[in-house]
Amino acid sequence: MGRAPCCDERMSVKKGPWTPEEDQKLVAYIQEHGHGSWRELPEKAGLARCGKSCRLRWTNYLRPDIKRGRFSHEEDQKIIQLHAILGNRWSAIAGHLPQRTDNEIKNYWNTHLKKRLAQMGIDPITHKTSSSGLALTSSWRPIVSTQLTHMTQWDCALAEAEARLSKKSSMKPFIRFPEAAQSSAHPSTYFMRSWKTGIEDKHRPKFGIVKRESSPVRIDCPSLVPNPARRPSNLLQNWDTILGLRTDQPGSLWQQPGAWSMSHTLKQIATSGRSHHLDESAASQARSSTIDMSGEVASMADDMMFPQIDRTGSNLLFVFESAGATRSDSVDRYGTTTPGDYFSPTSTLHGPDPDFTHSESGSPCGSSTDGSTLDCFDFTVQPEGSFHSFSLLPNGDGDGDDGDARLQESSLYDIPDTFWQAGQETEALQLQTVEISDDGGPDSGGLDLIIPLDFSNAEFSQHLESLCQEPSEYQTDIGEVL
């Protein structure tokens, strides 16, 4: 037996285009009463329409938060990127363009983007470049398949994670640390200063106004993390063996290629002489607080988005306690960017790349809505041991809603593949390219771990401080170049 019609066929239900009067009735009713049961709405609102038709009209057209008009270039790129990951899951895609409806995106894809890709020789279904494809224009380079495979791990993982978790709202909160001294000598300040010193303003205007100190403190702290690949550790040499230690946990992320266990990661960091000490209770707390989310994200990245890719890298998200620096408000990448004192190095990297001028992707340090502060540094670590970069993320308020995900998304445009290729436009970027791509360039991988670093720990603080103060043969001082 077939399904019952949503509306009583015996009633004279109007179909077809809506009149302005009908729109007015619907809007007036919903604004006053909310939509309630869609089935009952037409009668209450005095509309000779089926409830389903009313719902569609409201959600696709009359809803006040809908942005109409032409799609921007950034929106185009985002839709294409998301489509490469999510396919025809228009609702999931629309979730990343909050002011656009799934119907609108679907129509736009079918009438514009699909054709445009086809004209460029890109299969709109597989997103792979066909052999007979036309030469690509520079403005569309970032979307070709080879570069899609390098689409930032965050982007892919979070896109999928959001699609999957959007209804669950089950993300677990970031951990918070005990209060620590908030002084200008706080170790994480070195990270801040290094970026302020190393990047300079010339790359920043694209991301908004950046306030600078009148006499910025220059310190001899290079802007890049040293490359431990040239300082081999036992851990790095025994990578596979070490990875195998945790693969006895069924379904765990440790079974994913390239994944690290927290203890191994910490061991690696320690072995390579680069940081740090993690308070054991904090480590335990972090493990229980974050591992489910990160594991799921990593697994999804592996299983669903990059099945064909040999993932050998790991992303580590280091959560630092606030250094007590002045913070901007959190940035909403979909809306207005509030200028901050510091900008994400990752965001800064995008600036000179004409294809990645995501003005909305700036990620100044964030202050959470509850007033506390946590800063996140996102490292991508290769098994060979090279650090790619770190980015500074505003933190969410940790309440598990989509605000957290959105804030994490501010790292979406991590490092575009084009960045690693020829044609870098600034000396600074060239230097960073040399530094980073020397060991094979970026790799894909999900967010594997979230690791809290305890700045209140004296040992770690001293270590980090010495790291910043001692020039290293592995470090590149961008400040000198600029």
Partner DNA sequence: AAATGGTTCAACCGCAATCAG
Partner DNA sequence: CCTGATTGCGGTTGAACCATT
**Site residues (CB under 7 A) for DNA?**
2-4, 6, 14-18, 37-40, 51-53, 55-57, 59-61, 88-92, 102-104, 106-108, 110-112, 167
Find the shortest distance in angstroms from Cβ 366 to DNA: 28
Find the shortest distance in angstroms from Cβ 50 to DNA: 7
Secondary structure class of 225 (helix, strand, coil): coil
Q: Which is nearer to DNA, 57 or 274 (CB)?
A: 57
Q: Which is nearer to DNA, 89 or 231 (CB)?
A: 89
Q: Which is nearer to DNA, 162 or 384 (CB)?
A: 162
Q: Which is nearer to DNA, 112 or 212 (CB)?
A: 112
Find the shortest distance in angstroms from Cβ 360 to DNA: 23
Find the shortest distance in angstroms from Cβ 105 to DNA: 9
Find the shortest distance in angstroms from Cβ 51 to DNA: 6
Secondary structure element (H or E) that encloses residue 394, with its range: strand 387-394
Give the Å distances, CA to CA, from 295 to 64, 157, 301.
Answer: 37, 11, 10
Find the shortest distance in angstroms from Cβ 36 to DNA: 7
Find the shortest distance in angstroms from Cβ 108 to DNA: 6
The C-alpha atoms of residue 143 and residue 122 are separated, in whole angstroms, by: 9
Per DSSP bridges, beta strands 447-453 and 387-394 are unpaired
Q: Are 220 and 471 in contact (CB under 8 A)?
A: yes
72 burial via Cβ count (<10 Å: 0-12, 13-18, 19+): exposed
Give the Å distances, CA to CA, from 119 to 79, 87, 106, 130.
Answer: 17, 19, 19, 11
Q: Are 366 and 407 in contact (CB under 8 A)?
A: yes
The C-alpha atoms of residue 140 and residue 402 are separated, in whole angstroms, by: 30
| Exposure string over 409-433, b if 16+ CB within 10 A, otherwise e | bbbbbbbbbbbbeeebebebbebbb
| The dihedral sign for the CA sequence 209, 211, 214, 219 | negative
Token pair of 228, please?
């431990």
Secondary structure class of 237 (helix, strand, coil): helix
Q: Which is nearer to DNA, 50 or 468 (CB)?
A: 50
Q: Which is nearer to DNA, 130 or 166 (CB)?
A: 166
Q: Which is nearer to DNA, 6 or 481 (CB)?
A: 6
